[in-house]
Amino acid sequence: MTYKTAKFKIVGGKALDGEVKISGAKNAALPILLSTILTDEKVLLKNVPDLADVKTSFKLLQDFGKVCTYDVEKGEAVIENGITNHVASYELVKTMRASIMALGPLVSYAGSAEVSLPGGCAIGARPVDLHIKGLMEMGAQIKLDDGYIKANAIGSGRLHGGHIIMDKVSVTGTENLMMAATLADGITIIENAALEPEVVDLANCLNKMGAKIKGAGTSRVEIEGVIKLHGCEHSVVADRIEAGTYLIAGIATHGIVTCLNTLPSSLESVLQKLRQANAIITVDGTSITADMRNRQIKPVDVVTAPHPGYPTDMQAQMTVLNALSDGVSSVTETIFENRFMHIAELIRMGAHLVCNGVPSLKGAQVMSSDLRASASLVIAGLAAEGTTIVDRIYHMDRGYEHIETKVRCLGGQIERFY
């Protein structure tokens, strides 16, 4: 029997035009959902996006003994109960790398944790050594056994404060250790911490739960451990990558797209590049508009970097824009060595890479290789002449809420089939 994966059929060549409401950020929702491990009390989360990875997080939490209720229409999730199990199984972790962020909260709350070594996007080796080293600095004993990371808080069963200097800036590493430190005995300092807005959102939520975190969003985060965290209500920050993706889709199709409910300050490096690409960008409160009607796309050199640099999660989308520009550009990926798998597929659509812009792309049958690569192929399909079939769109479903509905609202032609 042949297993058929979901595909998108996109008829390109139509300028996108309209408004799109941006959802809560996947990369903030996931750590925040896992942070509820740290309390027995009820946590009400708003602006939670309807994504495959969010559903995997609910399954993980349910496996741990939590009760999760999700109202898709309202985007609200309620997480209740204490945990009764501290094992994150391979079946769940293999589908979502971010499950590694259960490790810190589990060992901090329960004194022990077992988390399968992660899978997720196939973009480079993606080790978790920084997570492990940081937890060891806080008194966890760690063993790798049967493909599982087994962590124990030795002695009192409680982690202690530590002075952690991250060898490399890691987003989920910073988040994992920050969560673990909230219930540790004493003060933890994380140096060379990630500055991403999602780290700040997680810290805000944890502080509402009674944590004592200072300095989130800077490279030195200080966490004073407390005995207990309590319930809270929190609304997840807007998804800057989703917003950037729709803005680029508007620009690539020479249309005009307004993203509503965004946090413009989190997108500055992206907006700067979009202006260099010759788009008229206007910011009005929480709305961002990109107007590219009757304008030529200019080539833009991009080097990915940790926040506030240009995000690696927006690299593939920018590559499509460059492929459609009227000149030569370079795109340099510094975070993940293997994150250029969309290039081969873009070449199938007529792109000359690296990176000589062409006036238009041609529809083709292409294959998604990871979450953001799939976004770039959808943008390319919307901008191309003719029909594009994007296969393996399950990658896209991990990170883009209701993509077909949103693209159709903007006038794009996209449908899902099997």
Hey, which residues are catalytic here?
121
Count of CB atoms within 10 A of residue 324's CB? 24
Nearest distance from C-beta of residue 198 to ligand UD1, angstroms? 6
Using DSSP's 3-state secondary structure scheme, residue 246 falls into helix
Closest contact distance (angstroms) between CB of 24 and ligand UD1 is 13
CB of 149 to ligand UD1, least distance (A): 11
Nearer to ligand UD1 among residue 27 and residue 258 (C-beta): 27
The one segment of 138-146, 184-192, 283-291, 307-315 that binds ligand UD1 by CB under 6 A: 307-315
| Site map (CB under 6 A) of ligand UD1, residues 160-199, x = contact | --------x-xxxx------------------------x-
Task: Give the whole-angstrom CA distance, residue 175 versus residue 409.
Answer: 35
Rule CB under 6 A: is residue 30 a binding residue for ligand UD1? yes
DSSP string, 180-242: HHHTSBSEEEEES----HHHHHHHHHHHHTT-EEE-BTBSEEEEE--S----EEEEPPB-HHH
> Taking CB under 6 A as the rule, does residue 146 contact ligand UD1?
no
Site string for ligand UD1, 114-143 (x = CB under 6 A): ----------x-xxxxxx------------
Nearer Cβ to ligand UD1 (198/345): 198
CA distance 151 to 140: 6
Closer by beta carbon to ligand UD1, 63 or else 239: 239
- Given CA atoms 211, 215, 218, 220 in this order, what sign does their dihedral have? negative
Rounded to the nearest whole angstrom, what is the least distance from the CB of residue 284 to ligand UD1 in the complex? 27
Rounded Cα distance, 14 and 28, in Å? 33
**369 contributes a contact to ligand UD1 by CB under 6 A:** no
Q: Which of residues 44-83 bind ligand UD1 (CB under 6 A)?
A: none
Under rule CB under 6 A, residue 313 binds ligand UD1: yes
* Nearest distance from C-beta of residue 135 to ligand UD1, angstroms: 11
Decide whether 63 or 313 has the Cβ nearer to ligand UD1: 313
Q: What is the DSSP letter of 102?
A: G
**Which residue lies nearer to ligand UD1 by CB, 164 or 171?**
171
Contact 243, 374 (CB under 8 A): no
What's the rounded Cα separation, in Å, for the pair 413 and 382? 8
3-class SS of residue 97: helix
| Minimum distance of ligand UD1 from residue 338's CB (angstroms) | 10
By C-beta, is 15 or 181 nearer to ligand UD1? 181
Can you tell me which residue has the tokens 């969309």?
Answer: 342
* Number of residues engaging ligand UD1 in binding (CB under 6 A): 21
224 exposed, middle or buried (CB, 10 Å; 0-12, 13-18, 19+)?
A: middle
Touching ligand UD1, residues 321-340 (CB under 6 A): 335-336
- What are the φ and ψ backbone dihedral angles of 134, each rounded to 5 degrees? -65, -45
In angstroms, the CA 148 to CA 76 distance is 32
Q: Please state the closest distance from residue 148 (CB atom) to ligand UD1, in A.
A: 16
- 370 vs 375: CA distance, rounded Å: 9
Burial status of residue 142 (CB atoms within 10 A of its CB: 0-12, 13-18, 19 or more): middle
Minimum distance between the CB of residue 30 and ligand UD1, rounded to whole angstroms? 5
Q: Does residue 27 belong to the site contacting ligand UD1 (CB under 6 A)?
A: yes
Interaction between residue 98 and ligand UD1 (CB under 6 A): yes
Contacts of 252 (CB under 8 A, 6+ apart): 297, 320, 321, 324, 379, 380, 382, 383
Residue 239 binds ligand UD1, judged by CB under 6 A: no
- Whichever of 127 and 157 has its CB closer to ligand UD1, that residue is 127
Residue at 117: amino acid letter: L
Please, which residue, 114 or 198, has the CB nearer to ligand UD1? 198
Q: What residues line the site for ligand UD1 (CB under 6 A)?
A: 27, 30, 98, 124, 126-131, 168, 170-173, 198, 311-313, 335-336
